[in-house]
Amino acid sequence: MNRFSFKAMWDYKCPRCRQGDIFIKPMSLSNPIDMPEKCEVCQQKMEPEAGFYFGAMFLSYIFSAWYLLLPTLLLVFYFKWHVNAAMGLAIFLGIISYLRILRGARSLWLHLMVPYDAAKAK
């Protein structure tokens, strides 16, 4: 029961205990996806196998494509914006959401693959 927690995923918390952090704090701009080897609370491996986060790349691609395409199409075809203005807005949205989507996709992927374990959450 209560297998998936959107809040824990959104807050970048460990999927198994929902207490430890998935990413190293504070975030370094030169390596925004720097993760600890294991959760400091429950010892869950943050990269269970080599190439584990390859799937997260597809999640971020799917999400960002729709997140940027739909408003752009809406602005151009419904609100009659010029294509360049709509593209400018899409680029702006892409820039401001880049880190959120990059880290969110990794967090979501880890949460989809690792189940919650109430015994590990003290």
Asked if 14 is part of the footprint of Zn ion (rule: CB under 5 A), the reply reads yes
Tell me the C-alpha distance between 108 and 8, whole Å.
10
Name the minimum Å distance from CB 7 to Zn ion: 15
Q: For residue 94, how far is the Cα from the chain centroid? A: 14
Q: Any idea what DSSP says for residue 29? A: T
Tell me the C-alpha distance between 112 and 102, whole Å.
16
Tell me the C-alpha distance between 114 and 107, whole Å.
11
Contact 14, 41 (CB under 8 A): yes
Could you say which of 9, 12, 35, 44 contacts Zn ion (CB under 5 A)?
44
Name the minimum Å distance from CB 24 to Zn ion: 14
**Sole window of 37-45, 69-77, 79-87, 107-115 interacting with Zn ion (rule: CB under 5 A):** 37-45
Tell me the C-alpha distance between 34 and 12, whole Å.
12
Asked if 42 is part of the footprint of Zn ion (rule: CB under 5 A), the reply reads yes
**Sole window of 14-22, 47-55, 70-78, 98-106 interacting with Zn ion (rule: CB under 5 A):** 14-22
Q: Of 63-92, which residues contact Zn ion (CB under 5 A)?
A: none
Interface with Zn ion (CB under 5 A): 14, 16-17, 20, 39, 41-42, 44
